[in-house]
Structure 1
Amino acid sequence: MRPSLNARIVRTKQGSVKGVLVIPSNRELQPVEAFLGLPYASPPVGPLRFMSPVSPLPWNGVRLMDKYAPACPQTLPDVSNEREALRFVTRGRLQYLRRLLPYLRNQSEDCLYLNIYAPVTVGGKDVNIKFPVIVFIHGESYEWNSGNPYDGSILASYGDVVVVTINFRLGVLGFLRPDLRENRVANFGLLDQIAALQWIQENIAQFGGDRDSVTLLGHGTGAACVNLLLISPVAQSSSLFHRAILMSGTALADWAVAENPLRYTLQAAQQVDCPLAERDDELAACLRFKRVTELMSSNIFQAPLYASPLAPLVDGIVVPNEPRQSMKIYNELFGRYDVMYGVTQSESFHLLNAATLQFGLTETERNRIIRTYVRNSYASNIDQVTAAILNEYTDWKNPVRDTEEYRDSILEILSDARVVAPVIQMADLHSSIRQRSYFYVFAHQTTNGDYPQVMSYIHGEELAYVFGMPLVGGTNHLSSNYTRAEMLLSEIVITYWANFARTGNPNFPPRQKFLTVANSRDRFEPSYVQWPAYDRHSQKFLNIDLRPKVKDHYRADKMALWSKLIPELMSNGNGKVFTVGNEDDDDDDDGEVLVTGGGEGLLPNPLLPLLL
């Protein structure tokens, strides 16, 4: 991409801005105007820390928006020592992180900014053209990452949409409840997202965007955030968005919402020597004037393995109830939106380290991981749930099993339990009240990508195709060397995603011309098939591969375990599903495993959660 300072001047509510004109390296793509680092709220510092975001101050003159603003404060995974890093991640994941992390090193509490990528209108002045808007909520973790690494220019150009990426508060600054009392303002990261959507409503028309056609696109933890906004009364105060795309995540996942948030408030207060008082916001006032480095100390939070200590929490305001309950209570809210959602086959791949990937697991190691997961995720009937999982994921026709098979079974179990089953449960709830409900499975592994071809389709690989990296060769962390067929796949994916953002139907309007076909001497035929809506009876979905096809009942036998059998076991045991921890049990071998920083891994993981 080649930027030049030729973009027009745009007047926002706060003042005038000038961006850069981005010329794609693929000459078939149209130029895009990029406006980087626009403030959508005032800096959340000093007395505004642990407060709802407030509008940014106006300015005079024209501000040049040609650089990304800082990422919000975060502790990044340490991958400087390759040998040490490979104890916790695969080599492919390490390569990915090394490309991603440079975008995140510039950090500041003054971080509430967004980036806009807008197609160039006719002559740059045709204000009558309105493009649908896609707002990307980043994933990776509730504790680190930013919207900055995700270049929206190719998606904007090829899809004829305005793409917005945002930064929002993370970790302790974004998701700690700074009060011992319940029903107090919290979820500042979610409130930031709402503030960004309000700014978009007020200003996006000036950039060629249609304020009445805004689609939220979330990945991983970002998808869980989007799901929470779909059922949040606070986000419904005005028509801030109209559709949603959830990629590899949902609010029903066991990692999506913090359990027992008071536990982490107490830990933070004790660590930085703040008073444990319930009067006059004394605790919040103390936390506001502590150094950021103190609040972000990696030694503060002790959390059960597989839990999310710093995550959205049920605060009675932004998140009024447990998400499953909210989807039923607020079904008139949940049902007003068209929703598209999907998964990859190996959603838990990044929980493995290099050695486990290469050598596999013994049966004892596999069983111990399962038992630890069950004990930290369910409140009762531990033995019965563990037995049910082992029974369902054991190939009884094959009496001889090796370490690779035990490794693969763990990948299946954790992928199904933590992502696939919750997504399908959400699909059943949404499709029962809204016809425009679409499910996909991304089933292609990049030929020259980061991961071994012997593995399956891995969490995060689909992002490059959504953002169009194959169409330009790519220059950022999503980059890889793509084949011609993969370029066409990216065109097909963008077409479905952009169509959904435009009409609520991924099939309409169909694209008449594909660049990869037009510019290749090879024989390529666009495999652009009709994508049927999902419903809980037919359970049809689009299997997205080099040749997409419609299938049905994805992993139905396995889903029945998580959606029916285990809830029945919980009901019989008077337990509840998706609760974290059993703090009264002192069994060191099988009990609650504590790690620092909410690590997502098979072992206590100093690299922080690397899956979501």
Structure 2
Amino acid sequence: MTTNRARPGFILTSLSALVVAASLSGCLSSSGSSSSSRATEPEANPLLASTSEGDIQGIALNGMRVFRGIPYAAAPVGELRLAPTQAAAQRDAVLELSEEFGAMCPQTSLMTGQPQGDEDCLFLNVYTPDQAEDLPVMVWIHGGAFVFGDGGGEYDPTRLVQQDVVVVTLNYRLGNLGFMAHPSLESDGGNFGLMDQQQALRWVKQNIQAFGGDPDNVTIFGESAGGHSVMSHVVSPRAQSEELFHKAIVQSGSYAPFQVPKVAAQFGGVQIANALGCDDLATAADCLRALPVPALLAAQGSQSMPSVDPDSDLLPLSIMAALQTGQFNTNLDMMIGSNQNEGTLFIALDELGGASLETLGEAEYRSRVTSFFAPYQASVPYDDDQIASDYLGFYASESAPLSTALSAIWTDFMFACNSSLHAGTFAAQGMNTFKYWFRDENAPWTLVSPALVSFDMGATHAGEIPYVLYPQELMRERYTGTDEEIDNLAGLMVDYWTSFAKFGDPNTSDGVAPAWPQAADNQYLVLDPPQPASTSALTFLGYHRCGYWANPPLR
């Protein structure tokens, strides 16, 4: 598969050559008879960093030192396709980087429906202030349902870096290439994407000091599948034993906490392999590794998901089982939250592919509710017809009742109530835990412009990302409120996020931002103009009908 970007190249000037040259210059100058004739040592190159694989030459950009396209692991191609992540190879020459990012991992374009990316995709990017020493490190894990996205150009960490933190973004394997379990594969449950993320964190631990970061103060943060990944690492014994991070921010990542066991994931993997002609268990691994990438992409669904492997220390328990039994890393500070209208994005994406739900009618609404609960019915027999009726009754007076009701089911069942439960679990363990509720209904859009759908999307899924990781100009362009509102809220959120990374507490040291109470006090912070403010947990639970979901209608 082709890519728009070549792998970063090499230049012949090495750091060792510079050191030799400087030493030689010193020796020659010492033989002179006057100090004025001495050659001065060259100044250290602030854009040159030495890593465990070799030296790297970055660039200066927007007042930062930027290192894009660093290979943090071996390319997962050939025998390394569908195999555990391996460390990157050593380099003898300096790796010269540019403004270009490394190739994204293979995925199907949301715009064209065509394959894009390249298997040689395990790159990360480091953004650091001009003068940096022992600064807190924030590692961003992108979302995208584990089937699309990358750590590249969509995310601009400039405003975070301006608050004296080092930011790292990364790519990881997606879809069937990142999460296929199969009996013929050595796989830790098929969680190759999670293995990639942990290898990136190992690289950060080993090398971030060379970029001015503190390896003993690392915060991982991510949204949606990225937030789910963060939760997976929170409950991962491997991540805990290696001390790969110290704080965690979960943005809309508490969904689907009951991951399936390896045996179920392998059953699905065998079905995929058989459909692709790799039906002989003895040769299936070689067969899968020989397939063209587009064939593997075509055989995957609209999302992938990590699975549980009890024989592995990567993810031996599901997120929910680990939290319920206390088998997770309690030596962390946690920030966790959800958005008021998470589900509207998914209804909007469906509408882009056809007519609105209001046009299609109530029968289609009920069919979609049934489909929504189908994956859960084997373990919990939800009465989907009664749930559909109840939620339609809750929102009967809305201008788009069918879309609003289905969106609310997505929001409440999938995201909000799980997020509240997880925050309560962390707080009950005595962990510093800070819960937010993002409610800015004018939020800048990310995947779908509100102008393209027939209903109000509100504070939808991914709506909080721009406030932390978009440039000001793009935020303003996509915001439907005032510039003053977006600038103020975005500034406060950047302060909260970076203060948490520095101190394990989002409350700013200058005390200017509204106070953010601990979740243990049954208080959440509402992120909404004109100013954030705390609210009771009961208000959140009531809005999202979490009492209903604690005792839902069953068949």
Give the alignment's TM-score, normalised by structure 1.
0.74
Q: CA RMSD in A?
A: 3.1
- Alignment partners' CA distance in 2, 1:167 and 1:274: 28
Is the contact between residue 214 and residue 501 of structure 1 (CA under 8 Å) also seen in structure 2?
yes
Matches of 2:263 and 2:490 in 1, distance apart?
38
Partner SS, residue 109 of structure 2:
coil
Partner of 1:560: 546
The aligned amino acid for 2:183 is D
TM superposition shift of 1:494 = 0.3
User: 2:122: which partner in 1?
Assistant: 112
Q: What's the offset of the Cα at 1:288?
A: 1.9
How far is the alpha carbon of 1:549 from its aligned partner? Answer: 0.7
Structure 1's 455 and 108: CA in aligned 2 closer, same or farther, altered over 3 A? closer
Letter in 1 for 2:535: K
Alpha-carbon shift at residue 182 of structure 1 (Å)? 9.9
How many residues matched? 495
Give the 3-state SS of the residue equivalent to 1:320 in structure 2.
Answer: coil
2:48 matched residue in structure 1: 9
1:425-484 CA deviation, whole Å, 9 max, x = no partner?
A: 2112111103311111111133775325944211112111112522xx139998999713
Identity of aligned residues (%): 26
User: Which residue pairs with 1:550 in the alignment?
Assistant: 534
Q: What do the CA deviations read for 1:186-236 (whole angstroms, capped 9, x no partner)?
A: 200000000000000010001000101100111001100110111011212
- CA–CA distance in 1 between the matches of 2:480 and 2:65? 25
| Cα distance change, pair 402–330 in 1 and its aligned pair in 2 (3 A) | closer
Query: What is the match of residue 419 of structure 1?
Result: 415
> Structure 1 pair 330/358, CA: closer, same or farther in 2 (3 Å)?
closer
Report the Cα distance in structure 1 between the residues aligned to 2:85 and 2:377, rounded to whole angstroms.
36
Counterparts of 1:152 and 1:257, CA distance in 2: 36
Match of 2:317 in 1: 321
1:539-568 Cα offsets, whole Å, 9 max, x none, are 3111011211101124424443455203xx
Q: Does 1:52 align with 2:84?
A: yes
Q: Note the C-alpha offset of 1:160.
A: 1.3
Distance of 1:11 and 1:480 partners within structure 2: 45
Give the structure 1 partner of residue 141 of structure 2: 137
1:90-127 per-position Cα deviation (integer Å, ceiling 9, x unaligned) = xxxxxxxxxxx9xx94x211111100000110xxxx6x
User: For 1:338-359, what per-residue CA distance to the aligned partner results, in whole angstroms no more than 9, with x for missing partners?
Assistant: 1111111111112221566584
- Whichever residue aligns with residue 420 of structure 2, its letter is I
Residues 476 and 212 of structure 1, relative CA distance in 2, 3 Å threshold: farther
Hey, what does 1:495 align to over in structure 2?
Answer: 495
Q: CA deviation at 1:168?
A: 0.6
Q: Distance in 1 between matches of 2:541 and 2:483?
A: 33
Partner of 2:374: 375
Structure 2: tracts of 5 or more residues without a match? 1-44
Alignment check: 8 A CA contact 2:140 2:220 kept = yes
The reply on whether 1:462 has 2:464 as its aligned counterpart is yes
Q: Which amino acid aligns with 1:273?
A: G
Cα 1:113/1:402, change in 2 over 3 Å: closer
Q: CA shift at 1:365, angstroms?
A: 3.3
Q: Structure 1: which 5+ residue stretches go unaligned?
A: 1-5, 24-30, 81-100, 513-527, 574-612
Q: Is 1:155 aligned to residue 159 of structure 2?
A: yes
Which residue of structure 2 aligns with residue 290 of structure 1? 291
The corresponding residue for 1:21 is 60
Residues 53 and 559 (structure 1 numbering): CA distance in 2 closer, same or farther, change over 3 Å?
same
**Change in 2 beyond 3 A, CA 1:380/1:68:** closer
**1:336 counterpart residue number:** 331
Question: For residues 555 and 425 of structure 1, do their structure 2 counterparts lie closer, same or farther at Cα, with a shift above 3 Å needed?
Answer: same
On the 8 A contact 1:182/1:315 being kept in 2, the answer is no
In the alignment, residue 314 of structure 1 is paired with which amino acid? V
Q: Please tell me the residue identity of whatever aligns with 1:467.
A: L
1:71 is displaced (CA, Å) by 0.6
Query: Taking structure 1 as reference, are residues 441 and 460 closer, same or farther at Cα in structure 2, changes over 3 Å only?
Result: same
Work out whether residues 345 and 443 of structure 1, in 8 Å CA contact, stay in contact via their aligned partners in 2.
yes
Correspondence list, 1:100-499, <5 A: 105=116, 107-121=117-131, 129-179=133-183, 184=188, 186-250=190-254, 252-253=256-257, 260-277=264-281, 282-296=283-297, 298=298, 300-301=299-300, 308=303, 310-316=304-310, 317=312, 318-331=314-327, 333-352=328-347, 353-354=351-352, 359=358, 362-379=361-378, 382=381, 384=383, 386-387=385-386, 390-391=389-390, 394-395=393-394, 401=397, 404-446=400-442, 450-451=449-450, 454-470=456-472, 473-474=473-474, 483-499=483-499
CA contact (8 A) 1:468 1:490 kept: no
**Alignment partners' CA distance in 2, 1:465 and 1:63:** 33
Report deviation, 1:403.
Answer: 6.1
Indicate how the Cα distance of structure 1 residues 402 and 485 shifts in structure 2: closer, same or farther if over 3 A, else same: closer
Do the aligned partners of 1:252 and 1:423 also contact (CA within 8 Å) in 2? no
Between 1 and 2, higher relative CO (CA 8 Å, sep ≥ 6) is seen in 1
Provide the rounded CA distance (Å) in 2 between the counterparts of 1:245 and 1:61: 37
In the TM superposition, residue 406 of structure 1 has moved relative to its aligned partner by 2.7
Q: What does the per-residue CA deviation read over 1:376-423, in whole Å, with 9 as the maximum and x for residues that have no partner?
A: 32237746464256336624xx9x756612321211111111111221
1:329, distance to aligned residue in structure 2 (A): 3.4
Q: What amino acid sits opposite 1:290 in the alignment? A: L
- Contact kept, 8 Å, 1:50 with 1:178, in 2: the verdict is no
Q: In 2, distance between residues paired with 1:266 and 1:551? A: 48
SS in structure 2 of the partner of residue 334 of structure 1: coil
Distance in 1 (alpha carbons) for counterparts of 2:323 and 2:492: 31
In structure 1, C-alpha distance between the alignment counterparts of 2:540 and 2:377, rounded to whole Å: 22
What SS does structure 1 have at the residue aligned with 2:127? strand
Partners of 1:393 and 1:149 in 2: CA distance = 40
Say if 1:178 and 1:287, in contact at 8 Å, map to a contact too.
Answer: no
Whole-Å separation in 2 of the counterparts to 1:58 and 1:437: 40
Give the letter aligned to residue 451 of structure 1: P
